[in-house]
């Protein structure tokens, strides 16, 4: 029986190259608490990503939770409903109130023109997402934050290696948070990081992720246990040796998809990255605006019937879940673009090792559902 094809598959370096790391761990018996591999990975990641300070975490959600604690965020935080639930869950866990702004129809990131009208005396921060690794409009967001005295924390879970004008987008805002989950382009099984810009802030983050300990007897804040262990860090060090080739293979698959789909179904819409962006090809999102006889879910279900597990990233919207839908800014009429995109989006499988024949099969399944459809005018998403 043919194995299923999932939307992604984790990058796993050769097992024999991981064994020496494990042997060293078995010998020195230092498994956590900022060991050798942890310290080495923070340094190598900072160099590779072009940032000043990397603070490693056991997962990206704990990194988000800690980022909000680091900046002592209170009250309301303006964010997006078009994201994974960890974005807003991190706010609720900190006793904060999410305020949802609609998204830009080109980038699917938070629309800066919708932010200012949502600011109240209780607003303390903006939490944008670089959706699919596409850079948010950081200049406009920062201008609003500076005007109103707000902090900016970027959910940059998708953004490993992404640059704008040759500079890492992780340098935007007060803090940026990465995910190293198994589904991401760079993984440490589970894992994450906060990117910060000065040593004092890094010290506070390092205290907070280790129960708040400043030294053996001093606890400076109600911290949490969010440290990355040495096995995860070792995996990260090995992953770095293969990341460039992995990103290049992702780009090849992405471009192949574009060529095959646009030739067969020119009515479909795609997100096109600006020329000044160095992207990581983390996802392959396609917009399917069909009609009653041809919908996104038609394609989604047809692929599943053939063992291909595409994902509707992001559907439903965060604002549709029970813990959020009572909020005024969660109403569908407040989020028309996000609502529309969530009903049309489908992310096709993309990962290193996805064979050309499988890529062609995936496209064939999509085309088979769409070639007889009558499409409306295509949605322009590339500006």
The pLDDT value given to residue 380: 38
CB within 8 A of 92, min separation 6: which ones?
98, 323
Query: Which of 29-38, 217-226, 370-379 has the lowest average pLDDT?
Result: 370-379
The pLDDT value given to residue 19: 98
For residue 22, count other CB atoms closer than 10 A to its CB.
12
- What is the pLDDT averaged over residues 189-204? 98
CB within 8 A of 268, min separation 6: which ones?
261, 262, 286, 287, 288, 370, 378
Q: How many Å apart are CA 119 and CA 122, to the nearest integer?
A: 8
Is residue 376's pLDDT more than 90?
Answer: no
H or E stretch at 216: none
Report whether 132 contacts 109 (CB < 8 A).
no
Q: Where are the alpha helices (H) located in the chain, listed in sequence order?
A: 15-28, 36-49, 60-70, 86-93, 138-148, 199-208, 230-240, 243-264, 296-305, 336-342, 356-370
CB within 8 A of 18, min separation 6: which ones?
234, 235, 238
Task: Calculate the average pLDDT of the chain.
Answer: 95
Which residues are paired to 80 by β-bridges?
101
Query: Which of 44-58, 218-232, 323-337, 369-383 has the lowest average pLDDT?
Result: 369-383
% of the chain exceeding 90 in pLDDT: 90
The pLDDT value given to residue 371: 65
Which position has the token pair 């894992």?
Answer: 191
Q: Closest by alpha carbon to 176, among 133, 143, 115, 225?
A: 133
Would you place residue 381 in the very low, low, confident or very high pLDDT band (cuts 50, 70, 90)? Answer: very low
pLDDT in tens, 258-295: 999 988 887 789 998 999 999 999 999 999 987 776 79
The pLDDT value given to residue 292: 73
Q: How many Å apart are CA 287 and CA 16, to the nearest integer?
A: 41
pLDDT in tens, 51-61: 999 999 999 99
Q: Residue 48 corresponds to which tokens in the numbers above?
A: 């590779």
Distances (CA, A) of 204 to 58, 223, 224: 17, 10, 12
- What is the pLDDT averaged over residues 134-138? 98
The pLDDT value given to residue 373: 56
Is residue 166's pLDDT more than 70?
Answer: yes
Is residue 197's pLDDT more than 80?
Answer: yes
The three-state secondary structure class of 25 is helix
8-state DSSP, 197: S
Is residue 382's pLDDT more than 80?
Answer: no
DSSP state string for 98-114: EEEE-B-TTT-SB-GGG
pLDDT in tens, 286-345: 999 877 767 999 999 999 999 999 999 999 999 999 999 999 999 999 999 999 999 999
Is residue 232's pLDDT more than 70?
Answer: yes
């Amino acid at each position: 029986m043919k194995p299923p094809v999932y939307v992604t598959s984790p990058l796993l370096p050769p097992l024999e190259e991981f064994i020496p790391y494990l042997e060293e761990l078995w010998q020195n018996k230092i498994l956590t608490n900022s060991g050798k591999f942890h310290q080495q990975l923070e340094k190598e990641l900072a160099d590779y990503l072009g940032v000043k300070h990397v603070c490693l975490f056991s997962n990206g959600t704990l990194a988000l939770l800690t980022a909000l604690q680091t900046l002592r965020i209170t009250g309301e935080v303006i964010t997006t409903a078009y994201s994974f639930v960890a974005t807003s869950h991190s706010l609720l866990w900190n006793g904060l109130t999410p305020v949802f702004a609609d998204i830009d129809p080109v980038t699917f990131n938070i629309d800066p023109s919708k932010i200012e009208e949502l600011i109240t005396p209780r607003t303390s921060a903006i939490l944008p997402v670089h959706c699919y690794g596409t850079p948010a409009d950081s200049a406009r967001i920062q201008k609003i934050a500076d005007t109103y005295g707000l902090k900016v924390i970027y959910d940059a879970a998708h953004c490993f290696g992404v640059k704008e004008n040759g500079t890492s987008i992780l340098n935007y805002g007060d803090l940026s948070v990465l995910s190293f989950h198994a589904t991401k382009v760079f993984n440490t099984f589970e894992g994450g990081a906060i990117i910060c810009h000065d040593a004092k802030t890094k010290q506070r983050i390092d205290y907070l992720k280790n129960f708040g300990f400043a030294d053996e007897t001093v606890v400076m804040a109600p911290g949490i246990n969010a440290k990355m262990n040495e096995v995860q860090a070792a995996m990260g060090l090995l992953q770095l040796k293969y990341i460039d080739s992995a990103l290049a293979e992702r780009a090849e698959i992405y471009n192949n998809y574009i060529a095959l789909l646009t030739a067969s179904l020119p009515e479909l819409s795609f997100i096109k990255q600006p020329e000044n962006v160095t992207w990581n090809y983390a996802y392959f999102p396609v917009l399917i605006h069909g009609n009653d006889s041809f919908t996104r879910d038609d394609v989604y279900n047809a692929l599943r019937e053939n063992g291909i597990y595409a994902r509707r990233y992001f559907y439903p919207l965060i604002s549709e879940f029970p813990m959020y839908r009572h909020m005024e800014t969660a109403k569908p009429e407040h989020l028309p673009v996000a609502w529309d995109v969530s009903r049309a989006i489908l992310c096709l499988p993309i990962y290193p090792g996805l064979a050309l024949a499988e890529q062609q099969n995936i496209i064939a399944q999509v085309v088979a559902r769409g070639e007889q459809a009558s499409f409306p005018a295509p949605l322009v998403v590339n500006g």
